[in-house]
């Protein structure tokens, strides 16, 4: 009975993408970054699910969508250990991990109120300056921020 | 984007810094020339700064160029809500070079991205002010005859003072030793101390401003301690006079030691220091003219003779 309920929480997908091992506290940020709000096909979002590795995790299942690599990599900013499963006909045809790009354009808002990016209609640009500590720096004002603290627009 | 633009001192290499110093030397010997004949330069001061604007405009005028611009954004269309991008694009139609100052950090970097006209950053908020750094380097070179192996003591507001941060970064090529003298609230930020560690630059931190530190310095770089930087006004009242330089503190100073200050000063250098042979802050401002002439010519891609200097 318990096993059945668990099955239900992570219902199988015929085709699409499963984004697994997303930390609970950033799940909805990840949803936002990937623009999942605007997707019309079936979307299942689960949070606080038990995980052997994380203890507890979030998961996103999107039917009939395979994200472009540069799009999916955007969540590396907040979920560097997320695992991506591409599903076709109920089979996992590809597994991969996200990788943080060198430059992040337009997702993160600079937390410096005197930064030009907060005062002009323009896109932000951040570069990754420390991959181990996931630290990014504003290309314009130089303000650095840990990516887990980054404000997502 | 024009690759001759100068937004941050960090954008240029050691060789480029040295070339600019050699050219500043040339302009000091030949300040009046018709090099910019037929050129029009815009000075766009979205934030007023009379001192910096006059220095840049004098530099253009002495080289025979002409200047258009504004000295206060409240008189321009940006006060009516025009974006920076639109102002820069409009002005780009008219001029060969844009020199801009803005209260927002990163404004100059953004300006370089929306135009092919070269842009010189004349200060963007608390962020960068590379021509100030060049004139500081030139002043240090002139007074010491070298930039290598110097002991530089920075005093006052080391937390918010962009001039000390930029100077610190530019000196990384020349094996300096730094002494940082500041109160608890205005200490040198961690990122600049990390920077020193990364480049193997020696630094020592002090709370007290004493003759012992002055006596081992080649350069004493003074900055203004401003009331508005303090969260606790009592703390400001307590420390405001602790970082003031008086002439009696200079008695044991090295003969070559010079006192620099980006100006304007308030009370951090007593007036009796002005007559000391160690005082250099007024000449320092004049060096800004030559440094800016060199920067302007570099931005316009004009080749200038380089005087031999030994570093
Ligand atoms: Zn910024």
d(CA B77, CA B83): 9
pLDDT for B80 equals 72
For residue A117, what is the nearest residue in chain B, using CA coordinates? B106
Pair (A88, A15) in one structural domain:
yes
Nearest to A120 among B83, B124, B191 (CB): B83
Total domains in chain A come to 2
Q: Do the chains contact at A119 and B104, CB–CB below 8 Å?
A: yes
The dihedral over CA atoms of A5, A8, A9, A11, expressed in degrees to the nearest 10, equals 160
Q: Are A136 and A144 spatial neighbours (Cβ–Cβ below 8 Å)?
A: yes
Task: Tell whether the model's pLDDT for residue A4 goes beyond 60.
Answer: no
Share of chain B above pLDDT 90, in %: 84
DSSP conformation class of B85:
H
For residue B125, what is the nearest residue in chain A, using CA coordinates? A114
Q: One digit per residue, pLDDT tens: chain B, 311 residues? A: 899 999 999 999 999 999 999 999 999 999 999 999 999 999 999 999 999 999 999 999 999 999 999 998 876 666 678 999 999 999 999 999 999 999 999 999 999 999 999 999 999 988 899 999 999 999 999 999 999 999 999 999 999 888 999 999 999 999 999 999 999 999 999 989 999 999 999 999 999 999 999 999 999 999 998 888 888 888 888 888 899 999 999 999 999 999 999 988 888 999 999 999 999 999 999 999 999 999 999 999 999 888 888 77
The matching CATH number, chosen from 3.30.420.40, 3.40.50.1370, 1.10.10.10, 3.40.30.10, for B9-128+289-299 is 3.40.50.1370
Domain range annotation of chain B:
9-128+289-299, 130-285
Q: Are A130 and A80 spatial neighbours (Cβ–Cβ below 8 Å)?
A: no
Nearest to B107 among A116, A121, A144 (CB): A116
d(CA A146, CA B279): 43
Pair (A141, A110) in one structural domain:
yes
Beta bridge partners of B36: none
> Which letter, b or e, does each residue of B76-114 get, where b requires 16 or more Cβ atoms within 10 Å of its Cβ?
bebeeeebbbebbeebbeebbbbbbbbbbbbbbbbbbeb
The matching CATH number, chosen from 3.40.50.720, 3.40.190.10, 3.40.50.1370, 3.40.50.970, for B130-285 is 3.40.50.1370
Query: ipTM of this model?
Result: 0.89
Pair (A51, A108) in one structural domain:
no
pLDDT for A1 equals 44
Pair (A92, A23) in one structural domain:
yes
Pair (A63, A11) in one structural domain:
yes
Q: Which residues of A touch B110 (CB under 8 A)?
A: 116-117, 120, 122, 140
d(CA B140, CA B97): 28
Domain membership of residue A136 as a residue range: 103-152
- pLDDT tens digits, B131-182: 999 999 999 999 999 999 999 999 999 998 889 999 999 999 999 999 999 9
């Amino acid at each position: 009975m318990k096993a059945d309920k668990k099955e239900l929480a992570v219902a199988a997908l015929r085709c699409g993408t499963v984004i697994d091992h997303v930390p609970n506290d950033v799940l909805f940020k990840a949803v936002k970054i990937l623009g999942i709000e605007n997707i019309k096909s079936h979307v299942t979002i689960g949070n606080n699910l038990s995980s052997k590795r994380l203890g507890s995790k979030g998961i996103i299942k999107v039917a009939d969508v395979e994200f472009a690599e540069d799009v999916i990599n955007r969540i590396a900013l907040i979920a560097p250990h997320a695992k991506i499963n591409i599903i076709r006909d109920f089979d996992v045809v590809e597994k991969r991990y996200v990788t943080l790009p060198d430059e992040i354009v337009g997702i993160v808002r600079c937390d410096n109120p005197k930064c030009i990016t907060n005062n002009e209609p323009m896109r932000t640009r951040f570069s990754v300056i420390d991959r181990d500590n996931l630290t990014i720096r504003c290309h314009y004002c130089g303000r650095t921020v840990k990516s887990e603290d980054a404000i997502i627009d | 984007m024009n690759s001759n633009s100068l937004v941050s001192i960090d954008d240029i290499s050691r060789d480029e810094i040295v070339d600019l110093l050699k050219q500043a030397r040339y302009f000091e010997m030949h300040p009046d020339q018709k090099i910019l004949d037929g050129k029009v330069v815009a000075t766009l001061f979205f934030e007023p700064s009379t001192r910096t604007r006059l220095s840049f405009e004098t530099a253009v005028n002495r080289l025979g160029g002409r200047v258009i611009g504004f000295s206060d954004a409240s008189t321009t269309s940006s006060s009516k809500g025009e974006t920076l991008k639109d102002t820069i694009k409009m002005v780009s139609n008219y001029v060969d070079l844009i020199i801009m100052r803005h209260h927002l950090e990163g404004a100059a970097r953004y300006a370089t991205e929306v135009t092919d006209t070269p842009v010189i950053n004349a200060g963007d908020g608390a962020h960068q002010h590379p021509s100030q750094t060049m004139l500081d380097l030139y002043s240090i070179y002139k007074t010491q005859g070298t930039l290598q192996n110097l002991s530089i003591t920075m005093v006052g507001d080391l937390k918010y003072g962009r001039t000390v941060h930029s100077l610190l970064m530019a000196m990384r090529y020349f094996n300096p030793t730094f002494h940082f003298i500041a109160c608890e609230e205005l200490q040198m930020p961690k990122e600049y101390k990390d920077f020193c560690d990364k480049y193997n630059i020696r630094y020592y931190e002090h709370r007290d401003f004493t003759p012992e530190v002055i006596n081992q310095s080649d350069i004493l770089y003074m900055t203004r301690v401003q009331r508005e930087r303090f969260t606790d006004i009592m703390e400001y009242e307590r420390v405001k006079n602790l970082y003031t330089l008086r002439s009696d503190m200079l008695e044991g100073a090295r003969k070559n030691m010079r006192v620099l200050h980006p100006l304007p000063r308030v009370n951090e250098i007593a007036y009796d220091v002005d007559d000391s042979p160690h005082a250099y802050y007024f000449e320092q401002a004049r060096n800004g003219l030559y440094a800016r002439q060199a920067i302007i010519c570099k931005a316009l891609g004009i080749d200038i003779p380089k005087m031999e200097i030994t570093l």
